[in-house]
Amino acid sequence: MLEGTLGFLRRHQRKFVIGAGVVGGLYMSAKLLTQRLVEMQASSAKERASKENIRRRFDQNQRDCLFTIMSLLPELSEQVLREVDVERLIAELRAIHRPQTSHPVSVDDEAANHESQAQPRGEGENNVWSNNNNKNSSSSGSGSGDGSNNGDENAQIKDKRDHSPDQENDSADGSIGNASATEEIESPRRTKVEIWEDIKVQSFARTMIAVYSESLLTMFVHIQLNIVGRSTYLDSVVGKFVGDNEDNVVLEGRSQSRISMTEEQNFLMLSWWFLNRGWRKMMDLIVDAVNYSVGQLSLKERMSHRELTALFNTIHIRLRENDIVQMLSGFVLPLGDANVSDYLSSNRLEADKVFTPVFIRLLDQIRDIIESRDFAYVFNSSVDRLTTQLLDALQESFPEPVPVPVFNKPLPPTVEGETAPDLDEVVKEFEEFSSPSESRVVVVQLLPRIAREGHQILNGVPNNYLENISASREVQALSAVVYTAESS
């Protein structure tokens, strides 16, 4: 029995060896494949967790950007509204109406009252910020008309003194009051047309300043916080593999220096320059473009929404012709020795403590981004986006046009001996009936709404303009590029 078994094994030895090798190979292959699948699943899960972590951090960073901009806008708004004070001009206009009306006059009432009184201004009165020429030009007329009133008041005071000598103290008080009134009357006073001209230019200027400044501030804060957020994320990743005592680490062949808390604060403090200095430089360009585009616009002119859109586009074109995009880095960063000294002295900072190697590297990074073509494209897209939203809001000021039906005469019959009707005349009558005329509004009635929208852009609660630009695809894409870029 045993010899038979051994003989069987000897006869089939080769088959058993091959079979054992095949089974062993299959076993090892299955085990290796299973191990490989487990590693791939673990790597995929780790990659998904890493991407989810990046996405979560990025989304949180974008929310931080929105809240940061909302906290900075009040400071910018306060300065813009104080510098371009349309409300002061409206109060000055109301002061002219106050002696004539006993009830307060609203801004819309002022616009309605002025619709029949507005006249175009002279060529030398286009500068909205220098009103001295306007005041001096109207001082002669007001002074000549006030002399007779002063004479009558002095005569009345003299009569009172003659008839009531016991009331000399009261007369003296009255003379002092009349003297102060005389001084106030003799002070140069501008006409309503001159004030409305200033309201016109400043309304457009303030709204455009709000559009451009909010666009630039939004993009600048997004770049700042995404650079800092990227550094924080890299530090968190590197911290899993190296000790916290390491000052420099090597990640993907690049040296990444950690940002200290002080350096991060100094880097984020750069927004102070735009909020207190840079926006004023931008304002000069915008005021020049507004004066060029709006200065000769008549207050009595009736505009359609399409013409108003073309007017805003003219302002944008003028600004881009003046290379406003190439000046953006100077608006948001203190470039040059004089500006750096101003920035440091205003914030009581020391240069050797601020301009560390890490801070200089961050400053170079953000300047390269601002001066890039991508930043210019996103900035122009953001400005166009806010302008479109502004024009949509101004659409409410234009009532819907009511089509006026044109009763056409019946076509004459074409019988023998008669000519056929003129086809061009028939087409013209059809076009007049099918396409109603555009709704038009007097310019002076649009100014209050334009001024209010400029205020809404900066101070709106909720600020739909800010939410619109922050959620735009262009701003989000630029933020993602900055957040995921490798730092050199």
HEC string of 44-78?
HHHHHHHHHHHHHHHHHHHHHHHHHHHHHHHHHHH
194 vs 292: CA distance, rounded Å: 17
Backbone angles phi, psi at 402, to 5 degrees: -100, 120
pLDDT score of 428: 62
455 vs 115: CA distance, rounded Å: 24
**464: Cα within 13 Å, side-chain hemisphere:** 9
A 10 A CB-CB count for 221 gives 23
Q: Are 290 and 451 in contact (CB under 8 A)?
A: no
Contacts of 443 (CB under 8 A, 6+ apart): 200, 297, 298, 299, 300, 301, 302, 303
Q: Which two tokens mark 312?
A: 């805003």
Q: Which two tokens mark 53?
A: 């972590």
Q: Could you please report the per-residue DSSP string of 407-467?
A: -PPPPPP--TTSPPPPHHHHHHHHHHHHSPPPPEEEHHHHHHHHHHHHHHHHH-SS-HHHH
Buried b (16+ CB within 10 A) or exposed e, 446-467: bbbbbbebbbbbbbeeebebbe
Backbone angles phi, psi at 190, to 5 degrees: -80, 160
Q: Are 353 and 254 in contact (CB under 8 A)?
A: no
pLDDT score of 210: 96
Contacts of 409 (CB under 8 A, 6+ apart): none
pLDDT score of 111: 54
pLDDT score of 438: 75
pLDDT score of 427: 61
121 vs 197: CA distance, rounded Å: 7
Tokens 């897209």 identify what position? 381
Mean pLDDT, 10 residues at a time, over the chain (488 residues)? 74 80 88 91 86 88 93 94 91 75 47 48 40 38 40 43 42 41 50 89 95 96 93 76 51 57 92 95 95 91 92 95 93 94 93 92 94 95 95 88 53 54 60 64 91 92 92 94 77
214 vs 386: CA distance, rounded Å: 9
Q: Which two tokens mark 298?
A: 């008549």
Q: Are 185 and 142 in contact (CB under 8 A)?
A: yes
351 vs 349: CA distance, rounded Å: 7
Alpha helices in 245-396, H assignment, sequence order: 261-268, 271-273, 279-294, 305-321, 328-332, 337-347, 351-354, 357-370, 373-394
